[in-house]
Structure 1
Amino acid sequence: MSTFTDLIESRRSAMNFVEGVKIPQNELEEMFSYARLAPSAHNLQHTNYKVVSDENLKEEIRKAAYGQYKIHSASAVIVVLGDKHAYLKAPEIYGGLKALGAMSQEDYDAEIETINNAYAENDAFQREEFAICMELWLFPACLFF
């Protein structure tokens, strides 16, 4: 528990970054390999990440983000994208469990039905699901590096 507590207690918000510092691509990839392990509703993995380190693209993002200087000074900007149609991958995701015998046909059918009832033709829910994920976990931790 001490590692978790240390992490929480040491977390800080950064308004600006030291310019010229670049995080190597392999370190960014390692960070995202861990971020991908974060749980998601029904294991649908609603998020995709785009790393923007090109200075011109960062300036375009800065304009869209009300001129926030931290976007300019960050080594990279992480654009977090939500997939509102991730629920369509549920049969593939749960099909593996069914094929391995870890999930019965009855449980598989019930899970797919639950997912479809929650997401299909429910645009507001799809957006809210992603927004909650961003607020609680990814957005504060991953937007700027």
Structure 2
Amino acid sequence: MTTFSIESLNIIDHNIMTVRYHDPAISALDSIALANIKQTAVAVVDNDNKLIGEISASTLAYCDEDVAAAITTLSAGDLMAYIDYGGPPEDLVELVKTRLQEKKLGLMMELMDEEFSFSVSSASSSAFSCSSDDESGSSRNG
């Protein structure tokens, strides 16, 4: 029986798409689109290139439309927190709203408010649900 190393099989892609934690999330859109095609994710790294987390198109696909406002206004690191496990922290929701106002994107903010009001009135657990639990039991890290 012949055994081969992982390196010799050439199954690890060393061309990893990354975005820095503090970079605008919108700057990662092209990488996220490419990662979707390759069925992978975009790594979010710190200034020392250490992995902090990931953003994937498959995770974004389970989010409400409100995530577009988050992508438009947040850093990559904040976007990770926004889409992580069951909805964003209230402070990030407020940050998105504030930045939408600053960018004169009030209509987008009104849509967020309408979605939030609808979700609260219908007893939804989160107005901005995007949860890995929705991913049919698949692991976010694997």
TM-score range, shorter chain: 0.3 to 0.5
The structure having more radius of gyration, on CA atoms, is 1
The TM-score normalised by the length of structure 1 is 0.37
Which one has more relative contact order, counting CA pairs under 8 Å at least 6 apart? 1
The TM-score normalised by the length of structure 2 is 0.37
Which is richer in helix? 1
